[in-house]
Amino acid sequence: MPATRTPDRLTRIAVVGASGFVGATLVERLLARGQYTVVPLIHSTGSAWRLSRHALDLRTVELLSPEALRTALRGCTHVVNCSSGPREVMLRGLENLLGASLAEGVQRFVHLSSVAVYGDPPPPEAVHEDAPTRPVRDTYGWNKLRQDQLVQAACRRGLPSVILCPPYIGGAYSMFVLRVLQAIQEGRLALVDGGDAVINLVDVQNLAQAIELALSCATADAQRLFVNDDAGTTWRQFTSPLVDLAGRPKPLPSISRDEASGWLGSVKTAPSTLGRRMKRLIASHQVRTILQEDPLITKLFQLTRSGIRFLPGGARERLDGILRPPKRRRPRAVHPAFDERLCRLQLRGLRHACDRAREVLGYHPEVSFAGSMEAFQAWYRTTNGWGAEYAPLFEELLRTPAAPKGGDAAEM
């Protein structure tokens, strides 16, 4: 069954990563238009329930398989890449997708990048897209930057492409807004200087609108375009309706910019050296599992472990440290009461301007900040809320701690 209610359209759009937050929103939007044939491509059926309720023909495709991608893209005129995943999928998968798009004569490729390509925190010049990109190697931002470069190279090889660069994404289904709400519910959100800083946010419908515009805009030169809500909303304005939704008292706790900087400055991350990464790889669960398939190695390992017990203290600890997989040390903040990441975001002090998107795409966000927050609240109340009558029962459920993980899942 084709994924459209009007199957004889000329524009055939493949949405890669269709089951994700942006992908699903885009597919629903494009189908509602009724003027496109939409081909939603998903990685796993397990996470595709939001789309499957529309009785769509969802096709599973493996981004690491060039042949499967060529088959999936056959006949598609446009491709939107909303996919995500581990580094290999992000890079080799995208290379495959671009190769298949070129081979299948795709007319337009729209790629979702991220403001993370500018680094964390981004430099002050990242108000505009031409700012220097300097993400830390091997981070999400670094992989997204490599992706941008792959798209730009494909564009030079003849694939007209648009790169959209959203910040955090809000609206119905937003995991970012949900995270902020949960931090408020748990008393872990502090506003820096009372929440005066501007938040970079785009409603998912506005992003989908920008993608739709990018499918047909005149310029497709793979230059990055910021896509923002363009509202200049502050953190105080952003969190105010969420505080009401969480039923928490106002105002939220506030810390000064100096206090926040001092706190976050004290959080040190150990540099990831080659030696550390090799040690982590060798001692990883996967490698150990493979090694332990050999009964000889398993026996040797058990003998070594039991022999260690008889060694003197210092030697025992050293050997024990080698045999155990090294734990990833999460940097511990000295201010554990507050969400470190959300505090860090407030210190950025910059707003990405979407003048270029306005010029190139004709983008004017159709959902206001208030509309975006209303949509999130409507979604949250419908999917999470219990109403006043059952709220006391829900509270009881939330305050009952779950048992430690392990054993069979109770339900499958």
Residues that bind another protein (CB under 8 A): 19, 44-50, 52-56, 58, 60, 171-173, 205, 366-368, 370-371, 374-376, 378-379, 382-384, 386, 390, 392-394, 396-398, 400, 402-403, 407-408, 410-412
Helix (H, G, I), strand (E, B) or coil at 261: helix
Q: Which residues does residue 221 pair with via DSSP β-bridges, in sequence order?
A: 161
Please, which residues bridge with residue 112 across strands?
A: 164
Q: Among residues 331 and 386, whose Cβ is nearest to another protein?
A: 386
| Residues 43, 109 contacting (CB under 8 angstroms) | no
Residues in the chain: 412
Please give the Cα distance from 59 to 68 (Å, whole number): 11
- The distance of closest approach from Cβ of residue 52 to another protein in the complex, given in angstroms and rounded to an integer, is 4
How far are the Cα atoms of 171, 175, 345, 369 from residue 244, in angstroms, in the given order?
17, 18, 22, 16
Cα end-to-end span (Å), the chain: 28
Residue closer to another protein, measured from CB, 52 or 261: 52
Give residues with Cβ within 8 angstroms of 285, minimum separation 6.
325
- In terms of DSSP H, where are the helices of 84-234? 87-88, 94-103, 140-156, 175-185, 204-214
Looking at residue 338, its amino acid is F
Residue 75: left (phi > 0), alpha (psi -120 to 50), or beta? left
Q: Which is nearer to another protein, 58 or 260 (CB)?
A: 58
Residue among 120 and 374 whose Cβ is closer to another protein: 374
* Of 127 and 178, CB closest to another protein: 178
Burial 186-215 (b: 16+ CB within 10 A, else e): eebbbbbbebebbbbbbbbbbbbbbbbbbb
Q: Which is nearer to another protein, 20 or 122 (CB)?
A: 20
Question: In the bound complex, what is the minimum distance in angstroms from residue 21's beta carbon to another protein?
Answer: 10
Nearest approach in angstroms of CB 95 to another protein is 26
**Closest separation in Å from C-beta 381 to another protein:** 9
Smallest gap from residue 252 Cβ to another protein (A): 23
Which lies closer to another protein via its Cβ, residue 59 or residue 279?
Answer: 59
Q: At closest approach, how far in Å is the CB of 40 from another protein?
A: 11
Output the smallest distance, CB 19 to another protein, in A.
8
* Measured distance CA(27)–CA(114) in Å, rounded: 20
Closest approach of Cβ 84 to another protein, in Å? 14
325/371 with CB nearer another protein: 371
Residue 351: helix, strand or coil by DSSP?
coil
Distance CA 14, CA 105 (A): 13
